[in-house]
Structures are given as C-alpha cells and as structure tokens.
Structure 1
Amino acid sequence: MFDAIDSMRANASPDLYVASSMTIAEHLVPVWLSVLRTSRPTLHVGLRVTNSQDVQRLVLEGHADIGLIETPSLDSRLEARVIAHDRLAVVVAPSHPWASRTAPLRPDDLAAAQLIVREPGSGTREALDRWLASRAPTEPLLELGSNSAVKGAVKAGAGPAVLSVLAVRDDLRSEQLVEVEVEEIDLNRPLLAVWPRGRGLDEPSTALLSIASQHRHECGP
C-alpha cells in the first residue's frame, strides 16, 4: 500500500512548477498554459500564485522552476527576461470627485491622497511606492491582499487605487471604474520571467517562455 501511495505521489509531481504573481496568473498565465497543454498534453504543470516578492523566494529556494513577476526590484541572484509589458492606472468610482476631472492629476495630489493599495511584497505596491517615494506619500487608507479586494473597495467608494490595466480593463469598459490620467509619472512597467542565475532553463520552462513571447501582451498608454 505504501509503495502504491509513493508511486501516485511521484506520478503527481509537476513536470513544470511555475510561481506567478497574482496579476500575471489571473490574466495571462491561463492562455499560456492552455497553449502549452495543447502542444504537450502529457505535461503536468503546477502553479503557485502569490506576490512578486514570494515568487522570487520560491524560485531561489528551488520550489519553482520559473517565476513570473511584476516587481521593479529584482534579486541579483536571478536571471530575468521581459515577457510582456503592463501599465498601471489610477482608478476611482464614478462618484469620486476625480472621475469628473478635465485636467490630469498631479503626482503631488496622488501622493497626498489616501489610497487603497495592495499588500507589501506586491509588484504593483512596490512600483507605486517607488514612484511616490520622493513626494512623502500619505499613509494608505487600506492594504488589501488581492486585486479583486482592492477593486471592490474602490467600487464601494472607499477611495482611489492604482492597479494594473489587466486587472481593471473590464471594469473600465463597463464604466464601473473610471481611469484618472496622471501627469509626469510613467506608469508603464515590464513583466518578467525569472530563474536562478547560472542555471539554464529546462525544456518545459523554455517552451512556456516561447509561448509567452508568441502571445506577447502589451498594455501601453
């Protein structure tokens, strides 16, 4: 019986273990893995979804073959390749005063606002903190652990937030959220694949990156 259990555990081990940040996992990875599965129907893929900081840790500790992150801070022990580009957007509820602005928001106004933000370790949060670091930003109104939670709070009128366009595009189209233009700050960012420096990628990881490149997603202005 124990031999049979060990055999089943061995057979269930992923051929490719991917760790991904939440935004990439929710909006890009499903397409990539679907294509990968079509071309390699016997390939077993494991996916761990967490924030960008934890993704890097999982890769460095050997718990993932490859990581997908959105953070501007890359551990020096990791190799990286750009797999897509994303853009962050300031979003508010239609009832918020910023929704009716005719002029772009100034960076100082954004820094002075109590924002609804992702938790520390999130790539979105880290990018926002870097952009506003020189402007003495106000303490966040709320820190929440998922894009969905942040969007829900914004829709309820709690305050503005900064999120990936990938996470809010449907809400913008349906006019449940309104994007507010910001002057001077470049809200574009690369999305990265990472793996330990000095270690080559295995064949399944290389195949996944090839698919990501073929289905490259650009969220520019």
Structure 2
Amino acid sequence: MDQHLHVFVAVAEKKNFSRAAEELHMTQPSVSQYIRTLEEKFGTKLLERTNKYVRLNKAGEVVYHHAKEILGLYTKTQTLVDDLLNQAKGPLSIGASYTFGEYVLPRMLALLKKTYPELQPALTIGNTTKIASLVTSHQLDIGIVEGNFKDKQLIIEDYAEDYMVVVASPEHAFAKRDGYVEKNELEAETWIVREEGSGTREATEMMFEEMAISPERKINFGSTQSIKEVVEAGLGITLLSQWAVQKELKNGDLKIINVEGLPFSRQFSIITQTPFQTKSLEVFKDLLYKERPSVDALGGE
C-alpha cells in the first residue's frame, strides 16, 4: 500500500505521469497501473486527466494530504527502528593525552561500559601530537587532547577547561612559604618537565615565556606519574594539571606553591576526522559532554 501512495504522491506533485515515472525509475504503464489500483481501492477517481495536465480532484486532495502524513510516519518509524537496531556496540577506538586519559577518562569508560555493555572501547594514551596523528590517519575514532591545538585535517571542538598549578614536596621551602615565590627563585629551581609534544610541556613553556624566566635545570620525564613521584621525593618542582594531583594534594604528598598569575587555565578539545558518526561514537560523545569535568569542583578559582 505504501508504494501505491508513493507513486500517487509523485504523480500529484509532478502533475505528469511521464515525469513521475522518470523520478521513480519506473515505466509509465507501471505508474498508470499503480494509480488505477489505488483508485479501485478507494472506489473513485483521484486524478483529473487531460492531454495537457494531470491534477487532483476533491477526493484526490484528501488522499494526497493523508498520503503525505502516512509516508512521513513510515519514514519516521523506519528511522526509529533502524536507530533501535543500530545499538551502540562493537569496537570504539579512543585516544587521549596523558592528563585526561589517566586521571579523568577511566571513570567515564566505566560508566560507558555499564550503560552500553556491548560496546568495546579501546583506549590509547599518548601525548597530544601522537593522538592527533592517529586520529588523522583513521587509527583512532576520537581523541581528547590538550593545549592550543590546530589542524585543518581534523574537526576540533572545545571541550573543557583545566587549571595548571606549580607543585612541590611538602618539605620544599617554597611549600612552607605563605607569600608568593619570586620569579628569580623559580628560575633557579630544578624543573621536572614532560617531553616535547606533550600538552603539559607546552603549558610549562608558555608559563616560562609569560613569566620571562628561563630555568637552566630541566629534567624530562615521559609520564605524569613519574614526575609526581620524583617531585614528591624532592628532586624539583613542576607544573601539572589539578586533575592529575588531586589525590596527592588530598593525602598531603604534594603541595601547591604560590606563584603570581597561577593557576592558569588551558583548553581540552575533542578531535575527530569525519562528521559522520557511528552510533558508538555518538553515545560516547554524548557521555563526554554529560560528564564533562568541572574546574570549580577541582578547586579552581
């Protein structure tokens, strides 16, 4: 019945059997047969036909109006059924820079798996440059990266703000001071920094530039966890995300030192390669925004 209505609507809108047949990729006799069958079904003529035109009569106008509604409901119903059947399941490759991947994302992935048990997320953690490269080459479906990120090949969405703080061992002289630490004192310190390509390293270099300091003693580490451990041991000081040091601050293993102009915020972004999203990617992005971390909840000002 829906095909008969589909043909009827095409004829009514094209006002011509030949043009309707062309649009529907059918022969004109087939179109005529569909119209005859429909008119027999309703027991009345629906179209006025002459050599010059085809147009709806009163009965045809009623059928046309409701045929449009019926076909619209068919389309809507099919879309809803397809969406229901196309459940979030199967593999989903996710990339994240270290800070977000290690300290924010695990809780979200647990919730994702609980909500969509048939979805199979796989997480890759790396620095911002690596994650962007993997998304660009279609090896990852989505990435969450930090820093002032720009790439014409990727779709970039602003996602969340993060606060950066300077931390030291509670035994460090800076940690015991009530007032601000001076710039020259910071420059004389040993800084424990992340490797090149890291968003945290980019933030650290930006801070050095804004404060017009150039520390001579820098020690590179490839992970935030190792940086926290050596700073806790008293090897030096570092700039890290508040997301990364919440546990250590709560336990008293690290302490924020007072630096004028800090904390400062940086942007996290969601990156994808294509606007066409699978159901799995769609529900994951919805979860990311629903569970977006709040800076205020983490002690930011």
Q: TM-score range by the shorter chain?
A: 0.7 to 0.9
* TM-score normalised to structure 2 length: 0.64
Structure 1 distance, partners of 2:281, 2:145, is 15
Does residue 150 (structure 1) correspond to residue 246 (structure 2)? The answer is: no
User: Aligned residue for 2:20?
Assistant: none
Q: Is residue 98–residue 126 contact of structure 2 (8 Å, CA) maintained in 1? A: yes
User: Aligned residue for 1:92?
Assistant: 168
**143-152 or 70-79, which moves further after superposition?**
70-79
Does residue 64 (structure 1) correspond to residue 144 (structure 2)? The answer is: no
Q: How large is the Cα RMSD of the aligned pairs? A: 2.0
* TM-score normalised to structure 1 length: 0.86
Q: Is residue 107–residue 185 contact of structure 1 (8 Å, CA) maintained in 2? A: no
User: Aligned residue for 2:255?
Assistant: 178
Does residue 46 (structure 1) correspond to residue 122 (structure 2)? The answer is: yes
SS state at 1:173 partner: helix
Structure 2 distance, partners of 1:215, 1:106, is 38
**The structure with more radius of gyration:** 2
Change (3 A) 1:96 1:208: same
Change (3 A) 1:97 1:216: same
Residue in structure 1 matching 2:152, options 51, 55, 76: 76
CA deviations 1:111-154 (Å, max 9, x no partner) are 44320011111111111112222524223431001111001110
Q: Is residue 93–residue 155 contact of structure 1 (8 Å, CA) maintained in 2? A: yes
Q: Which amino acid aligns with 1:139?
A: E
In the TM superposition, what is the alpha-carbon distance from 1:73 to its structure 2 partner?
3.0
From the two aligned structures, give the one with the greater helix fraction. Answer: 2
Unpaired runs of at least 5, structure 2? 1-89
SS state at 2:272 partner: strand
SS state at 1:176 partner: coil
Residues 105-144 of structure 1 correspond to what in structure 2 (within 5 A)? 105-107=181-183, 109-134=185-210, 135-144=212-221
User: Aligned residue for 1:7?
Assistant: none
Q: Is residue 186–residue 215 contact of structure 2 (8 Å, CA) maintained in 1? A: no
Q: Is residue 195–residue 201 contact of structure 2 (8 Å, CA) maintained in 1? A: yes
Structure 1 distance, partners of 2:278, 2:167, is 40
Q: Is residue 117–residue 140 contact of structure 1 (8 Å, CA) maintained in 2? A: no
User: Aligned residue for 2:110?
Assistant: 34
Structure 2 distance, partners of 1:105, 1:209, is 41
Structure 2 distance, partners of 1:183, 1:100, is 16
In the TM superposition, what is the alpha-carbon distance from 1:186 to its structure 2 partner?
5.1
Q: Which amino acid aligns with 1:98?
A: F
CA deviations 1:173-193 (Å, max 9, x no partner) are 111111012212452112211
**63-72 or 80-89, which moves further after superposition?**
80-89
User: Aligned residue for 1:25?
Assistant: 101
SS state at 2:162 partner: strand
Residues 200-211 of structure 1 correspond to what in structure 2 (within 5 A)? 200-211=276-287
Residue in structure 2 matching 1:166, options 243, 253, 274: 243
SS state at 2:216 partner: coil
- Could you say which structure has the greater relative contact order, defined with CA pairs below 8 angstroms and 6 or more residues apart? 1
Report sequence identity in percent. Answer: 29
